[in-house]
Structure 1
Amino acid sequence: MLGVNNHGQTIVLACAFLSKETIESFVWMFEEFKKAMLGGEPKTIITDQDAAMAIAISIAFPTTFHRLCIWHITSKFSVKLPNSAYKEYWREFQKAIWDTDNKDEFDAKWNIVVTKAGLTDHPWLSSMFDLRESWVPAYARQFFVVGMSSSQRAEGSHGFFKQYISRRNSLMDFIIRFERALSHQREKELVADHVDAFEVAQCILPMPMNKQMATLYTRTMFQKFEQELIQSTACFLELKTEDASKVVFNVSERKNWETRVAEVVYVKDFHHASCSCKRFEFVGIICKHILALFRRDQIEYMPNKYILKRWKKTAKSGLVSDANGNEIKDSADPGLLIKRSTMSRLASDVVEDALMSEEGCELLSETLKSLQVKLKLLKDGPSNNEVGGSSSQTQYMKDPKRVRCKGRSKGVTGAKEKAMKRGIRHCRKCGHIGHDRRQCPRNLNTP
């Protein structure tokens, strides 16, 4: 099971070995997942059209919205529909699926295309229309799912792990390789945390709101927000209705030579704005249409209700409690990021002080060399004569030396590989060894 962290990176939440893909196996896996993840049931799960998994999700996660992968469904249009109908009406199906913001608009466009194509009685299209609440964006945008509509992250994660593991691995070898891949994935997350801790993203638009979000959001999420803010400058607002409680605007934008209109409702008493595109509910980042309204009303700073903690740099700060309300701690020592940040600041201050004089630079250089030797001894552990001794101190044992497996064959090297190792070049004309194309015997027959 995969998720998304505050940097927008794909992370592994849980994994399991299943001997059979049955309802009982999936229910067991989901129940174990709930025991490990104490934050409650997930808001949304995206899967393919697996019947057993769908039943298991309804049993284990009754309040979770189960969304079907839109890529798996749309890729079947070319197979399920007649060839002539697919070529002529696929573009219109795409517009009905992706370019509609509300349910009624989708239903109307879908029925028009199906009628024009003469596919009103098509069994597969009818079944997909009955399942539209599970995969059509117009029906699923009100559920928060980090902007995902397909299982594309899962497919990308499969490609990532295939670099480390294969079906030929034994169970123990698989676990070691899988842990190595997870370590690589977590290292990327630590690097992103470190960058956000010491660097502030550069703003393109010199606006107070832009600078505010640059200090709060992680670098990746700030780039998405700034993109919405830039696009808001090309939106045009038109007053639709107004009364004592709310104001309704039509926000139009030009996209792909077409004008699209979104409806923004602003409730006066609660100072709350909502948009028909549902981007804030779907992605967690406020949309360009609401930002256009904020710019019109000269709101300089983003209200806190529109800033989700999960996209902040401080998303991981706070207490994690178990089922009994007790705080869960990873270890007694501070986290790796905090240690690195503290030592980096200290080292930076020491270097700046040493650069003020030549004596300071020499002193720091000698101290660092001495410290490097001590750290190497600490890393390597005690000497061999101390291992197994009677000392009460903690003993360390090094990894054994690697040796060549006795049953491992040397392998057969081909003539071409031997020639490449010796640096022997082949003639480009005849392919033989011992001469080049200028001295090739075939040149004798050439005038």
Structure 2
Amino acid sequence: MVLSVREDGGMLHYDIMDGKNKRFTVVHNVNDHEAKCSCKMFEMVGLLCRHIFVVFRDLERIPLKYVVNRWTKDASLKATFEIDGVIYDQNGPKDEKKMLLNKVWSDIHCCMDMAGSNMEQLTAFSQVIDEQKQLLLSGKEKLSPQHSRRTVIESYCGSTEISEINILPPKHAKNKGSGKRIKSSKELAMEKQEGRKCNFCGVRGDHHDTRTCQLNPKNKDKQKGKKKA
């Protein structure tokens, strides 16, 4: 719901209330078709909020500057190719030339799929492609084979060769069970001590305990019984 609209320096300021009775302000530049909302959803997520949609409801289409590439189906079509040791990146900005190249390649693959296994249609399509190829090669006689091949690859990938690659190998991850077990502080303290301690005589490092201590009278009675037996 639009509560009020005021103009200030060529900008329209909209006071909007949503369903939770919270107020937001949208600043709309009519000439440049730009809008900024106080909720900052587009800046954080990349999607227009409902408040800006209220302001843009009179427009025929949303301005392209607010259509982020990562939310479109073209985002998954971009890739990086490595051909003959040369890396081509498709993640660059879009332009009309690249869009036309993508359309041409899409039309070629579409024709190949429709022709299928029909030899007559494949032969006719091959002749058309060969005629266009000879027409293009006639104007590129001065180019070397390597340069012409690179040009074809760049036109297919829609990008140029990357001059510098700053990709480092991933760090080695230690999974569960790999390497040595991490000992607790209690275990480390026990290892530093000189053997076990007898709780009866208090001697440490003699490799005996209460059950085997010679000073324990119960152990003496057991030894006498064994001798009598």
TM norm. shorter chain > 0.5:
no
TM-score scaled by structure 2? Answer: 0.35
More helix by share: 1
Larger radius of gyration: 2
- Higher RCO structure, 1 or 2 (CA under 8 Å, sep 6+): 1
More strand by share: 2
TM-score scaled by structure 1? Answer: 0.19
